[in-house]
Amino acid sequence: TGYPTRWEDQTKYRGGWVVDGQRQKSLRLRLQGKWGTLTNIFYNPYLPTLDDYFEPWTYDYQNLINAPLADEQPTARAISMVTGKYMDTIEAGPNWDDDLGGSQVYANNDPNFDGASDEEMRQ
């Protein structure tokens, strides 16, 4: 559901703005104020982690270029850009769920629809 995972979940990443106060409403950043900015320069516990992005990878293009002539098409296996080892499965990545945009599968996991009624979800 997005990239990084649940990127629109403002309670998880503390993004966006909030309105403070009952009478005199003021707009402030959800994450921090002036002094919080100084403390979060070097460490921010709410930033997405590598697990939220999934491990970056590339492909073994040399296998395509240097493969000997054969009846079968050579393949380029995925290689982790973190460890340098071959990856057997890829579970997520940029634009991973773009094909699900507008589908019920995506909508059920979208944090923007948390708290929506069943009737609102059907529309």
pTM: 0.58
Using DSSP, state whether 42 is helix, strand or coil: coil
Tell the burial category of 69 from Cβ atoms under 10 Å away from its Cβ (0-12, 13-18, 19+). Answer: exposed
pLDDT tens-place string over residues 22-74: 777 888 887 776 676 777 777 778 888 888 888 889 999 998 889 899 999 89
